Structure formats: structure tokens, C-alpha cells
Amino acid sequence: MMFAKRVLRHAWLPSVLLLGACGGGFGGASKVAAPSSSGGYYGPAQPAPDHVAYEGGGGRGAVEPQRPGLGTSWGEQVHAPISFSPFVRSGSPWSEVVLHYNDAQGVQAHAAYLGTQPQPLEIYAGDGSIGIALVDEAGRTLNGYMAQGRALIVGNDGARYRIAVRNGTTARFEIVASVDGLDVIDGKPGDPNRRGYIVNPQDTLIIDGFRTSDANVAAFRFGRVADSYAAQTSGDRNVGVVGFAIFAERGAVWTPVELNRRDTANPFPQRGYAVAPR
């Protein structure tokens, strides 16, 4: 599926960050983020020198044998300005989504490991009104397959990709995203309790990379596991996965409870004559 290329713009407001979509992908969108728990806003650490390696368990240690497949490296600086907007969550995540990515050989091996044949990939969150995909620089959705409920996406070594979240509802949602187990805003281990990006009603959010400032990100690029941002900072244990915690805005979602109230609304709850208001 091809999605039109567009540029996102933002205005600075208090509280939660709105990212305008920079570049192509999945439609156009506002992005939103918020301060990290450490008191700063972004600040993923710069990648470690090439000669440093970490163990797959997540800590620093001896150099491991080269792992096959792809990870996400720290790419070039991309202009992707943000702004703030207030957003109150309705409670626990409305939906959670996980995407697994790898090169073509790795995806085929993963599908075989799960004992199923690959099929064309389509990913929808919740009741299907939120669509999620990885897209290339031209906005084309990357190929992938569903295998035993897992979304397996094919990447190409060195290629840049973006995360696209399309909102088909009339409500706003907050998207907390992680790549290789690292939060896309501050580069720290992913946590649904962190603040994220807002996708507006009938709009599309484009996340271009790891945020480095109000105006820029380090592009997502597929690369060797050893060269991934995760491997060079916290460890490569969670390389190959993109995660999303999707939060509805308080009072803004058509829940089954609200729909039942609408469906059973009584046009004549009480018979009698009108009285003056108190």
C-alpha cells in the first residue's frame, strides 16, 4: 500500500508534545510526546564506539559472536519538529501491538519456526480502527507476514524506515512506542508508563527515528545487530521488535458501556409537565 508523502508541522504548547509529520508515509499526522521521567525531554545517548560490544542479556560484557539478521541503527539527523498538547489517559492501554522485523531470510526462518506459511501482512489494533505499519522513505508499507498471531516484517540492510500509525476514529490516542526495547523519545528501556506521541482523529502519525531534540531525530535504519543502537548502548537482547502501547483519551472513546447507554437511552424518562430549573 502506498501512502502520500507530506510534511508535519508543530506549534509549542504546554504538557504533551505534538509531532508534525516530517516526510512521507501513511498519510499526514500530528506527533506528540512528553518529558521523560528523568526531567529531560529526549537525550538518547550517542552510540558507543565501534569496538565496544555488549552481551545479549542486556548488560555490558565480553564480545559475543555476530548475531544474524537485522537491528535498528542510529541513523542520520532528520528534521522532525514537535510541540506540546495536554492529554489525559483513560486508564490502562486501549491496545498493545508488537511488530517483529528481520531480513527476508530471517523472516522466512521465523515463520518456519512457528510452523506456518507466510501470508500478506495487515496489522490493526483494538477494534481495527488503528492501523500500524513500518513504511519506507517513499511511504510504501514494508512487506510482512502473519504467523501464529505474530507480525513479521521484512527489512533491507541499510534501508531507512519509519513507523506509521493511522487513526480511523474521531478520537485522539496517545502512542508510546519502542524500537529494539528502547523508547523512541528518550532512548531508555521501553515502558508503557512513559509519555508518547498523539495521533489526531482521522490522521496519521509518522515516527521518523529516535528523538534527539525538539526538532530532530536519528533516523531508523536497518543494519547489523552489532551496529544497532540497542547493542551499542543497553544490549541487544530485544533487537528486532517494535512495540506500541496505545492509550485512549479520557471520555473520548466509544466504549461498549457508552454505546450501551446510547442504545438504551429513553426519550421519555418521566411523564409530567415542565418545571423551572433550580
Distance CA 115, CA 113 (A): 5
* Burial (CB count within 10 angstroms: exposed 0-12, middle 13-18, buried 19+), residue 104: exposed
Task: Work out the mean pLDDT of the chain and round it to a whole number.
Answer: 74
Three cell numbers, residue 195: 509519555
Arithmetic mean of pLDDT, 111-129: 70
pLDDT of 6 > 50? The answer is: no
Residue-wise pLDDT tens digits, 135-175: 999 998 888 887 777 888 888 899 999 999 999 888 899 99
How many residues belong to the chain? 278
Exposed, middle or buried: residue 215 (CB in 10 Å: 0-12, 13-18, 19+)? middle
The Cα 132–Cα 112 span in angstroms is 24
Backbone angles phi, psi at 106, to 5 degrees: -65, -40
pLDDT of residue 61 exceeding 50: no
Rounded Cα–Cα distance for residues 242 and 205 (Å): 15
Q: Convert 131-171 into a string of H (helix), E (strand) and C (coil).
A: EEEEECCCCEECCEEEECCEEEEECCCCCEEEEEEEECCCC
pLDDT value of residue 260: 78
Q: Which amino acid is at 48?
A: A
**CB contact at 8 A, 155 and 161:** yes
pLDDT, tens digit, 9 for 90 and up, residues 87-108: 888 777 877 767 667 777 777 7
Q: Which pTM was predicted?
A: 0.57
Q: What is the DSSP string of 52-85?
A: --B-TTSSB-SPPPPPPSEEEEEEEEEE--EEEE
